[in-house]
């Protein structure tokens, strides 16, 4: 096709040149439409495959607790690993296996940075981030199952979602949920994810006192001996999670 266009241009065959140009444009448009369709069709299929394969290759068997591997402990010397966060200079963070620690401080002092460093030391672990990290077009249930341990089935994941978010339609797209509902979906995902540590960065943002206390009770019930590391600016969050070891930045 390129050769024909080149020859038509050399020989000044205007009609042929125009015809081949129109054909190239039409073929390009058709290829683009096909590619876009394939991308849109493959996304849901790939997501369903990820949900179906959840937990494979990770620890977890039907008799294990969600917190198997609960011997995780943390000894983190921050040193110069975050020079932009002055409040972390010289900080040494130690959390024993099964321990609970809260990091408190104003916005911007480095709480999230500290938790990110801790997550690298505790891997594998589960984490609730400050910003929402859910797949918007997937259901709440699928968001949880995609990261859940192998022994977690759909019915138990749905039961946890109903416990954390009363009245939720677990098959509803995350994009249709409120901010507080999304937050609790993320908490459910973290609780069912494999690992010996649960790291929560401002996990109760957007929740009223009753919802926060109910979520905290579920978190405590499902820790199963795992280490808990919390970052918050509200001491009430630490109290709800029964944390007495508080580090103030």
Is the pLDDT assigned to residue 14 strictly greater than 50?
Answer: yes
Give every CB contact of residue 181 below 8 A, 6+ residues apart in sequence: 140, 165, 168
Query: Can you tell me the distance from the alpha carbon of 91 to that of 249, in angstroms, rounded to the nearest whole number?
Result: 9
Query: Can you tell me the distance from the alpha carbon of 183 to that of 211, in angstroms, rounded to the nearest whole number?
Result: 11
Instruction: Give residue-wise pLDDT tens across range 202-246.
Output: 999 889 999 999 999 999 999 988 999 999 989 999 999 999 999
Across residues 9-17, what is the average pLDDT? 76
- Provide the token pair at 76: 């983190």
Contact 219, 190 (CB under 8 A): no
Lowest mean per-residue pLDDT among 55-69, 80-94, 169-183? 55-69
Q: Please state the domain extents for the chain.
A: 2-52, 74-248
Superfamily of structural domain 74-248: P-loop containing nucleotide triphosphate hydrolases (3.40.50.300)
DSSP for residue 173: B
Does 8 or 138 have the greater pLDDT score? Answer: 138
The pLDDT, as a whole number, for residue 55 is: 56
The pLDDT, as a whole number, for residue 71 is: 54
- What rounded mean pLDDT belongs to the chain? 83
Give every CB contact of residue 228 below 8 A, 6+ residues apart in sequence: 99, 100, 101, 197, 198, 200, 219, 241, 243
Is the pLDDT assigned to residue 120 strictly greater than 60?
Answer: yes
DSSP-based three-state secondary structure for 211:
helix
The pLDDT, as a whole number, for residue 61 is: 37
Instruction: Give residue-wise pLDDT tens across range 149-198.
Output: 888 888 999 999 999 999 999 999 999 999 999 999 999 999 998 888 99
Across the beta sheet with 100-104, what order do the strands follow? 126-128, 197-201, 227-232, 100-104, 245-248
């Amino acid at each position: 096709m390129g050769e024909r266009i080149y020859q038509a241009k050399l020989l000044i065959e205007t009609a042929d040149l125009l015809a081949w140009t129109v054909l190239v444009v039409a073929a390009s448009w058709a290829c683009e439409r096909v590619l876009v369709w394939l991308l849109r069709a493959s996304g849901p299929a790939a997501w369903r495959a990820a949900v179906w394969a959840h937990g494979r290759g990770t620890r977890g068997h039907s008799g294990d607790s969600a917190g198997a591997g609960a011997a995780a402990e943390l000894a983190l010397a921050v040193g110069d690993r975050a020079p932009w966060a002055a409040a972390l200079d010289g900080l040494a963070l130690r959390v024993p296996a099964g321990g609970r620690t809260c990091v408190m401080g104003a916005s911007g002092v480095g709480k999230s940075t500290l938790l990110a460093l801790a997550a690298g030391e505790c891997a594998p672990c589960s984490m609730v981030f400050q910003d929402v990290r859910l797949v918007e077009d997937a259901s709440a249930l699928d968001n949880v199952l995609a990261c859940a341990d192998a022994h977690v089935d759909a019915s138990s994941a749905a039961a946890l979602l109903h416990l954390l978010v009363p009245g939720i339609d677990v098959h509803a797209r995350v994009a249709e949920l409120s901010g507080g509902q999304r937050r609790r979906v993320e908490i459910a995902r973290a609780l069912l994810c494999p690992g010996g540590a649960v790291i929560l960065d401002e996990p109760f943002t957007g929740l009223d006192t009753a919802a926060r206390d109910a979520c905290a009770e579920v978190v405590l019930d499902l820790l199963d001996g795992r280490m808990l590391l919390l970052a918050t600016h509200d001491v009430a969050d630490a109290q709800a999670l029964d944390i007495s070891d508080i580090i103030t930045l």
